């Protein structure tokens, strides 16, 4: 299980709230898998995690566009690359079902990417948005 901690806070309330929900969804997937929950619950949780990730990226991209974030294209490209990874995982889920290997792969992939992205790219973006907002831009 992964716990939210202050080192993951970007300082942007909406971004942080959605990041917490992503970590919560990841934990629910781990719980469903570890506790032998029915296949449907595992699939449902995995699908939510993937869909919510894509929704979250859209919100961040809108925020970056509104604030004229200077690294918008770079940040969006990272999102687009990870969306492809998520779509590939979704396709594997559809064809293979929630195998142990696939679920471990989803948990590891999403957790590692999310934590690294939050602590790097999202911190920089949130700081820019905050500065821009404070300066009236």
Contact call for residues 118 and 10 (beta carbons, < 8 A) = yes
The predicted pLDDT at position 127 comes to: 93
Tell me how far apart the alpha carbons of residues 54 and 59 are, in angstroms, rounded to a whole number. Answer: 9
Angle at 104 between CA 100 and CA 106, to 5 degrees: 115
The pLDDT tens digits of the residues spanning 56-83 come to 999 999 999 999 999 999 999 999 999 8
Q: Give domain limits for the chain.
A: 13-134
Tell me how far apart the alpha carbons of residues 38 and 136 are, in angstroms, rounded to a whole number. Answer: 51
CATH tag, 13-134? 1.20.120.50
Q: Burial of 84 by CB count in 10 Å (0-12 exposed, 13-18 middle, 19+ buried)?
A: exposed
The pLDDT tens digits of the residues spanning 85-102 come to 988 988 898 898 888 888
Record the pTM.
Answer: 0.85
């Amino acid at each position: 299980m992964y716990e939210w901690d202050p080192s993951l806070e970007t300082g942007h309330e909406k971004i942080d709230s959605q990041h917490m929900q992503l970590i919560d969804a990841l934990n629910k997937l781990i719980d469903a898998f570890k506790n032998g929950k029915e296949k449907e619950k595992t699939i449902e949780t995995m699908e939510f995690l993937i869909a919510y990730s894509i929704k979250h990226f859209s919100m961040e991209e809108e925020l970056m566009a509104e604030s004229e974030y200077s690294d918008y294209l770079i940040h969006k490209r990272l999102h687009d690359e990870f969306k492809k990874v998520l779509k590939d995982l979704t396709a594997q889920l559809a064809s293979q079902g929630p195998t142990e290997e696939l679920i471990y792969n989803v948990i590891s992939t999403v957790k590692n990417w999310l934590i690294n992205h939050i602590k790097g790219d999202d911190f920089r973006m949130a700081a820019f948005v905050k500065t821009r907002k404070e300066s009236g831009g």
